[in-house]
């Protein structure tokens, strides 16, 4: 347990019992409490709302909420941004040279559109040397749908003449059984990054558990808040480790009540606002996929065609 976690007991109005409730509900750090709403905290931890307000106010004082930095420091960090090859020149150039580190790239599209395939391909390519378009780093993968396939990684590694065993040994995979577990694993990724040079964090799928667990209108605000925190944890991971972050988000072609038209983020689509790059994937003929870049901060909206075959992602 970290010092910060121990500190929860020291918050006014928080005894050992409340501290346990907080931790059981996933509030293991000051920050997680500080950014929560009193209503959610009260409901999820089974404490009074008045107590929740007090606890949050105290946590805000204790939490390391970050601070301001000068432009030259931001510039220095941005100059280190890496670009990861996807093994498709067309897709790389759509992204201005590859998937950027210190940013979240969201792959969204229907079932079977190739989200997991692109994520697998990047888990291989990130391990290549920089001169070959990689970032020479390890991978953390949070797998929520049990779709990680080492056999597929092996196939892709062989196609690039890479040592399969070495490649697999640098991919750290965990199954997430629910959204709460998923969020904890994202925090745990920081521990792995202390021992390994992690250059890619994948959450596949980002939204499936949230979508399944938060059903009905009344739960929307709560879900958004959780997703928002999760996304910010991921972004912070990318910043601190100068890593690429890839998340996937399955959308149906039919508009659904919460996520709406897949190409137009509406209805409080928090993911679309926090992801730096959004790529919309559609199936085309003969293994081809059309990838559309949407809402990029500095790149034009455009499309690329990629091929997914036994080698992996190609032009
Ligand atoms: P999703 O967007 O749902 O994550 P996937 O990335 O799992 O979709 O894409 C699945 C598709 O990828 C399959 O329908 C198939 O077209 C292609 N694919 C998966 N594995 C292979 C392979 N070994 N060789 C060729 N194509 C494959
Ligand atoms: Mg998938």
Residues 48 and 86 in one domain: no
Q: Are residues 51 and 157 located together in one domain of the fold? A: no
pLDDT of residue 3: 41
Same domain (yes/no): 163, 238: yes
The per-residue pLDDT for range 239-273, each reduced to its tens digit, is: 999 999 999 998 876 655 445 555 543 334 556 66
In a domain, 159, yes or no: yes
Q: Has residue 70 been placed in a domain?
A: no
By C-alpha distance, which of 241, 144, 215 is closest to 183? 144
Q: Count of alpha carbons within 13 Å of 311, Cβ hemisphere only? A: 11
Structure-derived torsion over alpha carbons of residues 35, 40, 42, 43, reported in degrees to the nearest 10: -150
Which residue among 34, 62, 90 closes a domain?
Answer: 62
Closest ligand 1 atom to 204 CA: 4
- Answer yes or no: is 211 within a domain: yes
| Structural domain that includes position 55 | 3-62
- Count of domains forming the chain: 2
User: Which bound ligand lies closest to the C-alpha atom of 291?
Assistant: 1
Name the nearest CA neighbour of 115 among 199, 208, 238, 228: 208
Residues 216 and 125 in one domain: yes
Q: pLDDT digits over 51-83, tens only?
A: 899 998 888 888 766 678 899 988 888 899 999
pTM of the model: 0.81
In a domain, 233, yes or no: yes
pLDDT in tens, 13-49: 788 888 888 888 878 778 888 888 888 888 888 888 9
Asked if 96 and 217 sit in the same domain, the reply is yes
Tokens of 148: 């990680």
Q: How many whole angstroms separate alpha carbon 227 and alpha carbon 182?
A: 11
- Ligand 1 atom with the smallest distance to the CA of 309 is 25
Same domain (yes/no): 268, 290:
yes
139 and 47 in a single domain? The answer is: no
Atom of ligand 1 nearest to the CA of 120: 6
Distance 117 CA to ligand 1 centre (A): 6
């Amino acid at each position: 347990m970290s010092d910060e976690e121990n500190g929860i007991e020291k918050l006014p109005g928080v005894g050992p019992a409340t501290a346990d409730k907080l931790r059981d509900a996933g509030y293991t750090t000051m920050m997680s409490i500080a950014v929560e709403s009193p209503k959610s905290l009260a409901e999820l931890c089974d404490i009074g709302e008045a107590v929740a307000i007090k606890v949050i106010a105290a946590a805000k004082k204790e939490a390391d909420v970050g601070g301001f930095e000068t432009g030259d420091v931001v510039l220095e960090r941005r100059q280190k941004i890496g670009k990861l090859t996807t093994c498709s020149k067309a897709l790389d150039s759509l992204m201005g040279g590859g998937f950027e580190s210190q940013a979240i790239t969201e792959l969204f599209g229907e079932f079977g559109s190739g989200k997991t395939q692109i994520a697998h391909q990047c888990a291989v390519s990130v391990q290549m040397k920089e001169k070959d378009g990689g970032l020479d780093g390890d991978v953390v993968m949070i797998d929520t749908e049990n779709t990680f396939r080492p056999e597929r990684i092996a196939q892709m590694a062989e196609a690039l003449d890479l040592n399969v065993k070495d490649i697999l040994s640098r991919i750290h995979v965990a199954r997430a059984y629910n959204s709460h577990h998923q969020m904890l694993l994202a925090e745990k990724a920081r521990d792995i990054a202390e021992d390994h040079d992690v250059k890619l964090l994948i959450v596949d799928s980002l939204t499936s558990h949230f979508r399944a667990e938060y059903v009905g209108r009344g739960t929307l605000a709560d879900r958004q808040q959780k997703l928002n925190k999760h996304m910010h944890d991921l972004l912070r991971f990318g910043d601190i480790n100068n890593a690429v972050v890839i998340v996937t988000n399955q959308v149906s072609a039919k508009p659904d009540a919460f996520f709406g038209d897949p190409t137009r983020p509406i209805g409080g689509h928090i993911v679309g606002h926090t992801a730096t790059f959004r790529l919309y994937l559609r199936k085309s003929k003969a293994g081809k996929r059309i990838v559309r870049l949407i809402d990029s901060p500095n790149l034009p909206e455009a499309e690329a065609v990629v091929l997914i075959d036994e080698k992996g992602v190609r032009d």
